[in-house]
A and B are shown apart, each in its own frame.
Chain A
Amino acid sequence: GQNIDQPTEMTATEGAIVQINCTYQTSGFNGLFWYQQHAGEAPTFLSYNVLDGLEEKGRFSSFLSRSKGYSYLLLKELQMKDSASYLCAVRSPGGNKLTFGTGTQLKVEL
């Protein structure tokens, strides 16, 4: 089976850095994705890791450790518009099925 855990809520200050953690236990692994979802909108792709290490993309970075079943999303120089739900998802082998966590609701405050 698949089990993905991430914190339900986080609060951070504008301009700061925040790290959103995700742990997973899955029967197969073919990559880990992070999506951002604003209320009432489509999830939008942020990052993808399939090998261990850090992937950097502007203000967003994502890290993966397959041996530990662990990933994090790092957001730098937080802006108010970053207030959203951040979804961690693991892809199963042999197809494009994503198993999502419940999402972390990030609130950015002044």
Chain B
Amino acid sequence: ETGVTQSPTHLIKTRGQQVTLRCSSQSGHNTVSWYQQALGQGPQFIFQYYREEENGRGNFPPRFSGLQFPNYSSELNVNALELDDSALYLCASSFEPTGSGANVLTFGAGSRLTVL
């Protein structure tokens, strides 16, 4: 089975720009979550998508937004980039029969964003 794949693996942006990060979920998974991991820190929950709708959100401003597509892949969009947005962005997928959170998350290797 194919795991979680993310693109791009690395990218550099400047303050004020916008970025889109992409994620293909593991085969058979229907739920996607996004996490931000700053250097030396644990991942922080941004939001989760189930059945193409946001199904939970962490403490991130509205300039962090996302989409889930019918094939369960997902995008994370960040507008008006700030220096503190520099981090590893991790996508994780799982199969959730009801969206209530029953199963183990499988993570991708992440997209490393540097904001200059």
Residues of A near any B CB (own CB < 8 A): 4, 30, 33, 35, 40-45, 48, 87, 89, 91-103
Contacts and interface: CB of A to CB of B under 8 A. Distances in A.
Contacts of A42: 3-4, 90, 107-110
Interface stretch (B14-22, B42-50, B73-81): B42-50
- Please list the 3 inter-chain residue pairs (A to B) with the smallest Cβ-Cβ separation, ordered nearest first: A100-B42, A96-B101, A42-B107
Contacts of B42: 4, 87, 89, 100-103
Interface string B14-54: 00000000000000000101010000111111001000000
A25 to B, nearest CB: 15
B58 A94 contact: no
Contacts, number: 69
Query: What does DSSP make chain B's interface, helix, strand, loop or mixed?
Result: loop
B105 A96 contact: yes
B55 interface: yes
A89 B41 CA distance: 12
15 contacts: A4-B42, A41-B109, A42-B107, A45-B106, A87-B42, A87-B43, A91-B101, A92-B101, A94-B100, A95-B56, A97-B48, A99-B45, A101-B42, A102-B40, A102-B41
B98 to A, nearest CB: 10
Contacts of A93: 101
A97 B4 contact: no
